């Protein structure tokens, strides 16, 4: 008996060594942790249960039968984060560069199947060189099996991908179908084809960082939802994000003890809006003052900064915040902002997370660049997302709510449950200048008359009361009472029941 116990221990020890000391040292020299070290940071201490530690590849070509490692380049299993279960897989770059063989893919599929069956989230840590070149088509099949499972789990359980090294070729599309992708600055990159192929095909000379580093994907392409400075920071932030998320689309929202009074008054909000309608202010101040304890996990913080999206809590329960940001492009809606917010709204709706929307939007961004870039279709994504969402929707208009953008931003007409406006709100078809220049075109060369018309337009339309008189806002509230009013609204809406007509699925403008 003792011999078998000894064999188990020595086999386990061999698996834990991954690709060996030299490759582990190389991993550390690049500023990266190994797969197992990453799991130690991500999961609660002692909670990790590993599966398939002894799995090996079955390839015999190219001398592969003489080169086998227990685990085959991916560590899989489950553990807990702050006591709540999560399935994980972590690519081990020290074994064949974390590349995907048939057996490696089967390990990932197994935890994907378990996660879906048990309605438990799954997190993948990526650090890999794509398909195992020696295995050829078997690896391609493995990828497609993983993609299929990503799609079936989408909207049922949260799926998160963290890119912590190379992520190329077949490896990029599984993360791309998960809910969130995060990257580590300087050590990770993602692309479909690497710099060498790019050079051959397009003759462009580009580095891996320029082609697909965290700086590119978290700002320009929006492939990534955030970037962190190192492995430890990224993993600690994933623990933080995880705390906001329900385990599945049918489980309750996580609720933590709340030490922040729901009726906290914030007098500073009464002076947040500058006297001039053209002077910006930081909408994040409002989010931080309204959310429990000023705790806010921002999604896509560096992309389309004219809209802010992220998770906070009200009364200890998760809320998704969406807010136009007057500090950037005056908070206008453009194609990128619309896509960013639409995806966030849809995530919240999938997982029953109430949405709080703060509105200060001068409209959609005009111009050929936007129209050629499909603003109509991208703007429609946000409109569609808000309109189909059945979760509680609470909206506060702080200043401008002009034109189509008024409609889009969780208006009453899109089944907004509770819609408030601050006294500084201006709910109108457009700003005064634009309106006057159209209605009084004949007076355009008389500045005095134009000024008079503008003043009259402002007095008549640029207030919350025209909308309030029609019931388009439920109340005009004092800015300092925003937290109390939103918190009360959300509490009321906990019992909300609303569903859309049966359909196979909708046809959101993609
Ligand atoms: C097998 C691989 C491998 C792969 C790396 N290795 N990638 N083994 N298949 N795809 C092995 C290396 O042989 C090496 O083994 C170890 O991993 C580390 O690799 P290095 O090249 O020494 O590391 P580094 O210099 O950091 O470069 C990392 C890398 C590079 C950029 C990822 O290895 C690379 O370009 N790999 C190939 C990428 C690729 O073309 N993959 C196929 C994509 S096609 P030793 O024994 O020396 O430690 C694809 C199609 C799927 O994925 C499409 C499905 C939709």
Q: What is the pLDDT of residues 201-236, one digit of tens each?
A: 999 999 999 999 999 999 999 999 999 999 999 999
Choose among 101, 168, 103, 169: nearest CA to 135. 101
CB burial of residue 93 (10 Å; 0-12, 13-18, 19+): buried
Expressed in percent and rounded to 5, the helix, strand and coil fractions of the chain are 45, 20, 35
Of the residues 169, 213, 320, 431, only one is catalytic, namely 169
Residues 319, 353, single domain; the answer is: yes
Establish whether 405 is a catalytic residue.
yes
Closest ligand 1 atom to 97 CA: 17
Query: What is the whole-number distance in angstroms between the Cα of residue 166 and the centre of ligand 1?
Result: 9
Choose among 113, 112, 109, 115: nearest CA to 145. 109
pLDDT in tens, 75-104: 999 999 999 999 999 999 999 999 999 999
The answer to whether residues 39 and 80 touch, using CB atoms and an 8 Å cutoff, is no
Which pLDDT score is estimated for 434?
A: 84
Query: What is the whole-number distance in angstroms between the Cα of residue 148 and the centre of ligand 1?
Result: 24
Which residue carries 């070729």 as its tokens? 169
**Closest C-alpha residue for ligand 1 atom 28:** 129
Contacts of 141 (CB under 8 A, 6+ apart): 102, 105
Which pLDDT score is estimated for 67?
A: 86
| Position with higher pLDDT, 64 vs 185 | 185
pTM of the complete model: 0.96
Query: What is the whole-number distance in angstroms between the Cα of residue 205 and the centre of ligand 1?
Result: 20
Residues 170, 49, single domain; the answer is: yes
Which pLDDT score is estimated for 458?
A: 86
Q: Domain for residue 275, yes or no? A: yes
Residues 163, 24, single domain; the answer is: yes
Q: Is the pLDDT of residue 61 over 80?
A: yes
Pocket of ligand 1 (CB under 6 A): 23, 96-97, 99, 129-133, 140, 143, 166, 168-170, 173, 194
Average pLDDT over the chain, rounded to an integer = 95
Which pLDDT score is estimated for 6?
A: 93
| Position with higher pLDDT, 439 vs 234 | 234
pLDDT in tens, 119-176: 999 999 999 999 999 998 888 999 999 999 999 999 999 999 999 999 988 899 999 9
Among 13-17, 242-246, 483-487, the least confident range: 13-17
Among 178-187, 235-244, 460-469, 481-490, the least confident range: 460-469
Q: Which residues of 160-194 are buried (b: 16+ CB within 10 A; e: fewer)?
A: bbbbbbbbbbbbbebbebbbbbbbbbebbbbbbeb
Which pLDDT score is estimated for 136?
A: 83
- For the segment 41-49, the average pLDDT, to the nearest whole number, is 98
Residues 231, 342, single domain; the answer is: no
Among 33-37, 65-69, 124-128, 284-288, the least confident range: 65-69
- For the segment 412-432, the average pLDDT, to the nearest whole number, is 94
Residues 341, 230, single domain; the answer is: no
Most confident range (mean pLDDT) of 190-199, 263-272, 443-452 is 263-272
The span from the CA of 306 to the CA of 301, in Å, is 10
Angle at Cα 412 formed by Cα 408 and Cα 417, nearest 5°?
A: 115
How far apart, in Å, are the Cα atoms of 179 and each of 47, 89, 158, 234? 24, 16, 6, 16
Establish whether 6 is a catalytic residue.
no
- For the segment 185-198, the average pLDDT, to the nearest whole number, is 93
**Closest C-alpha residue for ligand 1 atom 13:** 96
Q: Domain ends where: 244, 278, 310? A: 244
Q: Domain for residue 361, yes or no? A: yes
Residues 299, 227, single domain; the answer is: no
Grade residue 430 by pLDDT with cuts at 50, 70 and 90. confident
Of the residues 405, 435, 468, 489, only one is catalytic, namely 405
Q: Which two tokens stand for residue 367?
A: 């111009």
Q: Domain for residue 465, yes or no? A: no
Residues 170, 285, single domain; the answer is: no
Q: Is the pLDDT of residue 2 over 80?
A: no
Of the residues 316, 374, 404, 434, only one is catalytic, namely 404
Residues 226, 275, single domain; the answer is: no
Q: Domain for residue 433, yes or no? A: no
Q: Is the pLDDT of residue 300 over 90?
A: yes
Residues 217, 271, single domain; the answer is: no
Domain count, the chain: 2
Range of the domain at 284: 267-425+473-494
Residues 282, 194, single domain; the answer is: no
Grade residue 443 by pLDDT with cuts at 50, 70 and 90. confident
The answer to whether residues 415 and 393 touch, using CB atoms and an 8 Å cutoff, is yes
Grade residue 460 by pLDDT with cuts at 50, 70 and 90. confident
Grade residue 65 by pLDDT with cuts at 50, 70 and 90. confident
Q: Domain for residue 435, yes or no? A: no
Q: Domain for residue 342, yes or no? A: yes
pLDDT in tens, 327-359: 999 999 999 999 999 999 999 999 999 999 999
Q: Domain for residue 77, yes or no? A: yes
The span from the CA of 35 to the CA of 420, in Å, is 48
Mutate-to-test residue for ligand 1 from 69, 99, 129, highest number of ligand atoms within 8 A of CB: 129
Which pLDDT score is estimated for 509?
A: 96
Q: Which residues of 376-388 are buried (b: 16+ CB within 10 A; e: fewer)?
A: eebbbbbbbbbbe
Residues 42, 102, single domain; the answer is: yes
Residues 208, 299, single domain; the answer is: no
Which pLDDT score is estimated for 412?
A: 97
Q: Can you give the CATH number for the domain in which 373 is found? A: 3.90.226.10
**Closest C-alpha residue for ligand 1 atom 41:** 130
Which pLDDT score is estimated for 115?
A: 98
Q: Domain for residue 510, yes or no? A: no
Q: Which two tokens stand for residue 294?
A: 């000023």
Query: What is the whole-number distance in angstroms between the Cα of residue 99 and the centre of ligand 1?
Result: 6
The answer to whether residues 363 and 387 touch, using CB atoms and an 8 Å cutoff, is no
């Amino acid at each position: 008996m003792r011999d078998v116990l000894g064999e188990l221990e020595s086999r386990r020890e061999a698996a834990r060594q991954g690709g060996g000391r030299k490759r582990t040292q190389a991993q550390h020299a690049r500023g990266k942790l190994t797969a197992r070290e990453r799991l130690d940071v991500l999961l609660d201490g002692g909670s990790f249960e590993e599966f398939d530690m002894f799995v090996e590849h079955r390839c015999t070509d190219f001398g592969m039968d003489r080169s086998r490692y227990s685990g085959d380049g991916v560590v899989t299993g489950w553990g807990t984060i702050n006591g709540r279960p999560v399935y994980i897989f972590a690519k081990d770059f020290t074994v064949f560069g974390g590349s995907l063989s048939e057996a490696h893919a089967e390990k990932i599929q197994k935890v994907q199947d378990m996660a879906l069956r048990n309605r438990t989230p799954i997190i993948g840590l990526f650090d890999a060189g794509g398909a195992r070149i020696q295995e050829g088509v078997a690896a391609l099949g493995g990828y497609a099996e993983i993609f299929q499972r990503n799609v079936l789990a989408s909207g049922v359980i949260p799926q998160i991908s963290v890119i912590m090294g190379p992520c190329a070729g077949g490896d990029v599309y599984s993360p791309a179908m998960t809910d969130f992708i995060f990257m580590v600055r300087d050590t990770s990159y993602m692309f479909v084809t690497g710099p060498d192929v790019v050079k051959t095909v397009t003759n462009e000379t580009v580095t891996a960082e320029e082609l697909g580093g965290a700086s590119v994907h978290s700002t320009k392409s929006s492939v990534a939802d955030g970037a962190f400075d190192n492995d430890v920071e990224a993993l600690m932030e994933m623990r933080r994000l995880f705390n906001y998320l329900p385990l599945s689309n049918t489980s309750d929202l996580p609720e933590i003890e709340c030490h922040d009074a729901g009726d906290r008054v914030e007098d500073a909000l009464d002076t947040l809006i500058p006297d001039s309608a053209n002077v910006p202010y930081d909408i994040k101040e409002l989010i931080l003052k309204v959310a429990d304890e000023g705790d806010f996990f921002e999604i896509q913080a560096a992309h389309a900064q004219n809209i802010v999206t992220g998770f906070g809590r009200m009364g200890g329960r998760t809320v998704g915040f969406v807010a136009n940001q007057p500090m950037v492009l005056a908070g206008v809606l453009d194609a990128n902002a619309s896509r960013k917010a639409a995806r966030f709204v849809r995530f919240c709706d999938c997982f029953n997370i109430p949405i709080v929307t703060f509105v200060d939007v001068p409209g959609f961004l005009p111009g050929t660049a936007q129209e050629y870039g499909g603003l109509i279709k991208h703007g429609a994504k946000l409109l569609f997302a808000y309109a189909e969402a059945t979760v509680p929707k609470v909206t506060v208009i702080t200043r401008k709510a002009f034109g189509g953008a008024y409609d889009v931003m969780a208006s009453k007409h899109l089944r907004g449950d509770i819609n408030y406006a601050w006294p500084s709100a201006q709910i109108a078809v457009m700003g005064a200048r634009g309106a006057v220049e159209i209605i009084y075109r004949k007076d355009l060369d008389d500045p005095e008359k134009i000024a008079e018309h503008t003043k009259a337009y402002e007095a008549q339309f640029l207030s919350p009361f025209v909308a309030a008189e029609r019931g388009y806002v439920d109340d005009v509230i004092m800015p300092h009472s925003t937290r109390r009013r939103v918190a009360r609204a959300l509490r009321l809406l906990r019992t909300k029941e609303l569903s859309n007509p049966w359909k196979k699925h909708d046809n959101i403008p993609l």
